[in-house]
Chains A and B, each alone.
Chain A
Amino acid sequence: MSGRRQAVLLLLPCLAVLTGLFVLPQALMLAASFGRRSVFGGVVPDPTLANYLRAVEPLYLFILAKSVALAAATTILCLVVAFPVAYWIGLRAPARFRSALLVLVILPFWTSFLVRMYAWIYILRPEGLVNLALGRLGLPALPLLYNDFAVLLGQVYGELPFMILPLYASLEKLDRSLLEAASDLGAPPGRTLRQVTIPLAAPGIVAGCVLVFIPSLGSYLAPDLLGGGQTIYVGNLIQGQFAVARDVPFGAALSFLLSLTVLGLLLLFRRPLQASREA
């Protein structure tokens, strides 16, 4: 019985924070999502499903699908870029350099994400660094900014550390003698990677994918700054409802639709997630 009391006491601060800062606001948002927008941007408590019906109109579903595609592309690209980096830091680099290399991975966090996005604008804009270099080489300038490419680039750049760190954590603790054993038993490097390294790193891969995919789905800063309003994702859409259109009920409905999408996708991938956790 005292064990249960201890558990309650230990969890109390967390429960208080979550109740005050997550559960209550979410409940308010849920209530708002069933309300109606007043003329001045307030919420009229007039139970209706209109906001949800509007949210599943083809136009908005298309934006949601595009966001899922962006998040998926971000996740896959991050995985492809991060895996070799994490593999090298965790398994190949001399142990004494590992901490320093990890500091390099998280070094971008020392600056605000906003500032880093402006740095990308500086690099990608028509008269930016890349195009300047191309011009010097006598090559035509490329339209690098304010399109889906720029958004994806910004997303991958921003989320990369969140993929590298969990991958590193699982690769670094991988028993190297297992890799030697695979090789000893006749597995060429590629098959060792597929049959031993990746299955054993699966928890880290899953953690990294979840950590990258979910924030990417609702991201609005990179689409806003690097997409330049030329391209709209669900994050910008929601932000727009609250900040620009002042349609809180519709924004809230879109938010819950997004949450339901995340939940649905997690359920869809539940089995592979569980399988990897057991491994």
Chain B
Amino acid sequence: MPGQVPVRGAVQVQRVSKTYGDVAALRDVSLDVRPGEFLTLLGPSGCGKTTLLRILAGFEQPDAGEVLISGRDVAGLPPHRRPVNTVFQHYALFPHRTVAGNVAFGLEMKGMPAADVAERVARALDMVRLPGLGDRRIDQLSGGQKQRVAFARAVVLEPEVLLLDEPMAALDLKLRKEMQVELKNLQERLRVTFVFVTHDQEEALLMSDRIAVMSRGRIEQLGAPDALYERPRTRFVADFLGVKNVLEAEVASVEGGVARLHTRGGLQILAADDGGYRPGTAVAIGVRPERLRLDGTEPAGESGPLNRLAGILDDELYLGDRTDWRINLGGETVTVAEGAAARRERRRGDAVTVVLPGAAVLRLEGE
């Protein structure tokens, strides 16, 4: 229809709630997924991400709220009548069918003539780089191959939205990294809306256009990967995205764009005011380990207040490309990440000065 906004592939979740027994899996969740977007639902197990995905697929019905797919209310529509397809966590490939038989399943359900089915299946297998493997049995495939078949089986139907339930979880690390890039490239080529569920923050950051971080049945924060990484809003999001240093503090004063904070462990910290500090209130702050320095130099290009904190090297966590130092600052302990080169110069028990730029202090909400 001319003039109408194209909504194919858009998903609107409006105030959806779902309870199992007395466990609230989703509490009043709203979410807009844009057409062609790669949106990730990120969170620990039990956060509701899989429940939300299953509601989109039609395997579960919400207790309250609405779901619109491509602008249409899908309430009461069974899975087989929804314009979405799913890539299951353990692939759920039919063991009694060949690779081609699996990919053909949905096309056969549509009543497509056999010749067309064969052609579409062959093209789909080409796309996932499994040409000529159509006659293989499922139990003859490796994990990565199964994942590709599961993907081909879903996208061959040209869904308006593709739902992916931790599709990488069963793969080993190296293969997972490869598949992440491959899947991201395929998504960009196909321009199909992806709703992707994972508990792996690195995977989410790498692949997504936007990430919805979920916790206890709610979306805690929604945003682009860099926005989320740079500015986690809540304590939960910060913790989940690797902000290892979270300190409890009280706001002593706010003046001229600088908040003066007293931490529970007795440190005085100056933080760049983001407009949210209120004098006399308690606040949680977070600092990424890689924003702290031990070499005493001031970071280039940082404006605002600078903190220098005296401490003692307590412990080291060698991680190959970097080392996480545990620094005892008196009443507080912080983790500082440093490149591998600096490791040789330091030893446990060394007195160090931790340089903390005020701009690196993140004000966090939530208890």
Q: Which residues of A contact B (CB under 8 A)?
A: 175, 177-178, 180-188, 191, 195-196, 199-200, 279
The answer on a CB contact under 8 Å between A188 and B92 is no
Chain B residue contacts of A279, Cβ below 8 A? 95-96
The verdict on B229 contacting chain A, using a C-beta distance below 8 Å, is: no
Which residues of B80-138 are within 8 A (CB) of A? 80, 84-86, 88-90, 92-96, 105-106, 109-110
The verdict on B318 contacting chain A, using a C-beta distance below 8 Å, is: no
The answer on a CB contact under 8 Å between B106 and A186 is yes
Nearest A residue to B89, CB-CB: A177
The answer on a CB contact under 8 Å between B109 and A185 is yes
The answer on a CB contact under 8 Å between B96 and A184 is no
The distance from the CB of B141 to the nearest CB of chain A, in whole angstroms, is 16
Contact (A186, B109) CB under 8 Å given A181-B94, A196-B94: yes
Chain A residue contacts of B29, Cβ below 8 A? none
The answer on a CB contact under 8 Å between A187 and B92 is no
Q: Which residues of B contact A (CB under 8 A)?
A: 57-59, 78-80, 84-86, 88-90, 92-96, 105-106, 109-110, 153-154, 157
Q: How far apart are the CA atoms of A183 and B79 in the complex, in Å?
A: 6
Q: Main SS of chain A's interface residues?
A: helix
Q: How far apart are the CA atoms of A182 and B157 in the complex, in Å?
A: 13
Q: Main SS of chain B's interface residues?
A: loop
Q: How far apart are the CA atoms of A177 and B172 in the complex, in Å?
A: 22
The answer on a CB contact under 8 Å between A186 and B96 is no
The answer on a CB contact under 8 Å between B79 and A199 is no
The answer on a CB contact under 8 Å between A186 and B80 is yes
The answer on a CB contact under 8 Å between A177 and B92 is yes
The answer on a CB contact under 8 Å between B90 and A185 is no
Nearest A residue to B54, CB-CB: A180
Cβ-neighbour of B109 out of A177, A178, A187, A199 (below 8 A): A187
Please list 10 pairs of residues, one from A and one from B, whose beta carbons are closer than 8 Å in the complex, sorted by A's number.
Answer: A175-B90, A175-B92, A183-B79, A184-B154, A185-B106, A185-B154, A186-B106, A187-B105, A188-B78, A200-B95
Contact (A180, B109) CB under 8 Å given A185-B157, A186-B80, A188-B80: no
Cβ-neighbour of A182 out of B57, B89, B105, B110 (below 8 A): B105
